[in-house]
Chains A and B, each alone.
Chain A
Amino acid sequence: MAEKHLMSEVDMDAVIKSMAKQIIDDNLGEVALAGIRTRGVPLADWLAKRIIAFSKKSIKVGAIDINLYRDDLSEVGSQPIVHRTEIPFKIDGTGIILVDDVLYTGRTIRSALDALIDFGRPKFIKLAVLVDRGWRELPIQADYVGKTIKTKADEVIKVMLKGTDGKNEVILKERFSAREMRR
């Protein structure tokens, strides 16, 4: 199976820094980050660190598990494992930036919007992703994108993060085609 290196830790940090700058430049007022489990959470922490370094102001970070809001719950096999949602700040009147690793079909983001709104009425919700790989199935776009990558349908973008995967790297993998699987 072919594997292609896309971004190193240095590349990742560079795009996260530029997203942090954009967010600060946009002057959003009171704002908090909400990472989407699993990999959106360490990314949100990373982004928060950069925002704090530039703006010298603190920013709150929460974590959202979207499994209970998935639109394919009636299709997938046994239930996905549910992790804790932690929103340690008041949602009402606060601007929220959702953070995720890869933007693909947009279905995860749709679930995350539903999950977030169950906690209150945010002032606005924006979306920041490390990689936008295209292939949207819903009318959803990101406000802050680290890197846009053109992909084929059978390719997989894998964002690896120290906390979950032992290292910081983004790679592109080819999914096994059905014929290869049989071989």
Chain B
Amino acid sequence: MSLSIRHLLSVKDLTKKDVDLILKTAENFQEISKRPVKKVPALRGKTIPLCFFEPSTRTRASFEIAAKRLSADPIQISSFGSSLSKGESLLDTVKNLEAMDPDVLVIRHPHSGMPHLMAKEVSCPVINAGDGINEHPTQALLDLMTILQTKKKIQGLHVAIIGDILNSRVARSNIILLTKMGAKVHVAGPASMIPAGVDQYGVQVAYDIREVIPKADVMMMLRIQRERESASLFPSLREYARFFGLNKNNMQSAKKDVVIMHPGPVNRGVEIAPEVADGPHSIILDQVTNGVAVRMALLYLMCGEERENAKIKNQKSK
């Protein structure tokens, strides 16, 4: 069994079989994180640069922990504190990293499409850890795993993604992956935050979250991204919280077994009220736990593909 992809740039490239293999592997990796010694030797001697050219807590820590639990050597690179701040171009930085023979390159960048460009330039597999407003494939995979764990199925499930759909790479990756796997996806938010033509992804659009709350089996609240343009798309945070935030009151019309998700970091009291984020329906921290397992699975599987490719290349050159 192997993946059909070499790089993980977009969830679009994943076949259903790939997704099943990744999630199955991730599930079986979870046990490792519960051991007294949380480490297995599978990726001993693999070097994995984690290039985070944008702030991150969860994803960065999650990738580092994933690599370390498999005995690989992750290396943290950020724009602050690297030669990028001396004016080195990103391409040069990555080319130099490549010269040190990494096995997988993980990259997050504020510009959409940057990991795709890097994948063309370097010889090792590249994992997109979030590129601008485009995609965040590993987040979508860990979200899918978390939904499957709590709901036991994905086919026909109503998943509502609520908030800044326009600027959210989490939303884009989730919409694509969830519809691919058979879920019914609804998006809701202020009209200024719903991208034109979003219905081409096969999603239902609502501009009032009260429409989607009673239908949803899963509600995914998106963060208001103050560092992007989110803030200029609505009059005030208070108004946003009032009309589009999830709170005790509008939760009353939700299904009894609804689960609430959030990719983090949470703006408490804006897109989600603290009592909901910490409430019984919240599976936000399960998402974080599963993130480590999903990233372990990806690193493990992608290192294997690489070996397979190298072998084929060797045979051809003989």
Contacts and interface: CB of A to CB of B under 8 A. Distances in A.
Interface residues of B, number: 27
A79 B304 contact: yes
B28 A78 contact: no
B197 interface: no
Contacts of A77: 2, 304, 307-308, 311
A9 interface: no
A118 B39 contact: yes
Interface string B144-187: 00000000000000000000000000000000000000000000
Interface pairs A-B: 9 shortest CB-CB: A79-B304, A78-B2, A68-B42, A68-B40, A77-B308, A78-B304, A84-B28, A78-B308, A82-B28
B93 interface: no
A115 B35 CA distance: 11
A178 interface: no
25 contacts: A65-B28, A68-B32, A69-B41, A73-B42, A77-B2, A77-B308, A77-B311, A78-B2, A78-B3, A78-B305, A79-B2, A79-B301, A81-B1, A81-B21, A81-B25, A82-B25, A82-B28, A82-B29, A82-B300, A84-B28, A85-B31, A86-B31, A115-B40, A118-B39, A119-B35
B305 A84 contact: no
Most chain A CB atoms below 10 A, which of B37, B40, B300, B304: B40
A81 B37 contact: no
Contacts of B311: 77
Contacts of A119: 35-37
A93 interface: no
A27 interface: no
A86 B35 CA distance: 10
B303 interface: yes
Interface string A161-172: 000000000000
A81 B28 CA distance: 9
B17 interface: no
B238 interface: no
Contacts, number: 55
A114 B42 CA distance: 12
Contacts of A65: 28
A120 B36 contact: yes
Contacts of A85: 31
Interface in A25-84: 65, 67-69, 73-74, 76-79, 81-84
B24 interface: yes
A155 B100 CA distance: 44
Interface of A: 65, 67-69, 73-74, 76-79, 81-86, 114-115, 118-120
Contacts of B21: 81
Contacts of A69: 40-42
B31 A79 contact: no
B301 to A, nearest CB: 6
A90 B189 CA distance: 51
Contacts of A76: 307
A77 B311 CA distance: 8
A86 B307 CA distance: 29
Most chain B CB atoms below 10 A, which of A67, A82, A84, A118: A82
Most chain B CB atoms below 10 A, which of A79, A83, A85, A86: A79
B62 to A, nearest CB: 19
Contacts of B70: 68
A165 B307 CA distance: 31
A119 B308 CA distance: 31
Given A78-B304, A78-B308, A83 B42 contact: no
B305 A68 contact: no
Contacts of B31: 84-86
Nearest to A92: B36
Contacts of B308: 77-78
Contact of B307 (A68, A74, A114): A74
Contacts of B303: 79
B306 to A, nearest CB: 9
A174 to B, nearest CB: 27
Interface string B14-35: 0000000100110111011001
A115 B70 CA distance: 13
Contacts of B39: 118
Nearest to A81: B1
A134 to B, nearest CB: 28
A111 to B, nearest CB: 9
Contact of A78 (B1, B27, B35, B37): B1
